[in-house]
């Protein structure tokens, strides 16, 4: 499997933008509700939820190799996930009546991706009380020197630097406005002190009336 998947698992406890969303789901959602994680990678987040008693766990990823790795992890840990190969930006299969859509550490890495399009694609998957739980790179990263370049290339000559791996950054106000446009509201927002700084959001449907 790609090395960064292994590192993400080994260092998971320090990745607060991953732990906070999963912890919120475990504290606030009933164990019988369905969870869907597009871009699930190795399934580490879903397997953590499985260890907390969730059983209706769904995930998709574009990479066959990492999905095979996920199957190995499932067998070793004694949990079962429902995973399939799919392009999360243009999915061919979407589950229905999900209690939560979980998305961490991938959307803002993809050129051309946007939170607006993500909401449009996945809001139909949610049950009436379903929630979005996700992280986003903070707009404050725009003030960091060399933020327009890939962090691995900061020490290289300017002509050798690639564009930043963080393709979009959002303020809480921007996230709240996008949520409102799609019929949702911010239930909670938590800022991490990672580099780059990220915010974790939990969105529920807007109240009627």
The pLDDT of residue 102 is 98
- Give the span between the Cα atoms of 31 and 25, in whole angstroms: 9
Question: Coil, strand, or helix at residue 185?
Answer: strand
**37, 59 contact by CB (below 8 A):** yes
Q: What angle do CA 50, 52, 55 make, to 5 degrees?
A: 40
Question: Coil, strand, or helix at residue 52?
Answer: coil
Q: What angle do CA 37, 117, 115 make, to 5 degrees?
A: 70
User: Quick check: bond before 196 cis, omega within 30?
Assistant: yes
- Give the span between the Cα atoms of 108 and 61, in whole angstroms: 15
Q: Which pTM was predicted?
A: 0.93
Strand partners for 185: 204
Strand partners for 36: 58, 101
The pLDDT of residue 200 is 97
- Give the span between the Cα atoms of 190 and 142, in whole angstroms: 19
Report how far apart, in Å, the C-alpha atoms of 138 and of each of 14, 82, 117, 191, 208 are.
Answer: 18, 32, 18, 8, 30
Sequential pLDDT tens for the chain (209 residues): 778 777 878 887 878 888 999 999 999 999 999 999 999 999 999 999 999 999 999 999 999 999 999 999 999 999 999 999 999 999 999 999 999 999 999 999 999 999 999 999 999 999 999 999 999 999 999 999 999 999 999 999 999 999 999 999 999 999 999 999 999 999 999 999 888 999 999 999 998 65
- Give the span between the Cα atoms of 12 and 161, in whole angstroms: 28
The pLDDT of residue 10 is 81
């Amino acid at each position: 499997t790609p090395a960064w998947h292994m590192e993400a698992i080994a260092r998971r406890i320090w990745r607060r933008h991953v732990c906070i969303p999963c912890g919120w789901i475990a504290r606030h959602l009933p164990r019988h509700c369905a969870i869907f994680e597009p871009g699930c990678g190795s399934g580490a987040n879903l397997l953590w939820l499985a260890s907390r008693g969730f059983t209706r766990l769904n995930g998709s990823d574009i990479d066959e190799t990492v999905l095979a790795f996920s199957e190995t992890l499932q067998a070793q840990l004694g949990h079962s996930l429902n995973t399939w190969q799919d392009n999360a930006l243009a999915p061919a299969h979407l589950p229905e009546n999900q209690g939560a859509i979980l998305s961490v550490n991938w959307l803002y890495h993809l050129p051309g991706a946007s939170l607006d399009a993500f909401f449009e694609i996945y809001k139909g998957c949610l049950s009436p009380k379903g929630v979005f739980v996700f992280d986003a790179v903070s707009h404050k990263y725009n003030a960091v020197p060399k933020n327009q370049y890939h962090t691995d290339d900061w020490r290289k000559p300017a002509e050798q630097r690639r564009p930043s791996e963080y393709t979009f950054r959002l303020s809480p106000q921007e996230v709240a406005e996008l949520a409102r446009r799609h019929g949702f509201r911010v239930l909670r927002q938590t800022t991490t002190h990672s580099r780059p700084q990220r915010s974790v959001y939990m969105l529920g449907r807007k109240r009627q009336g």
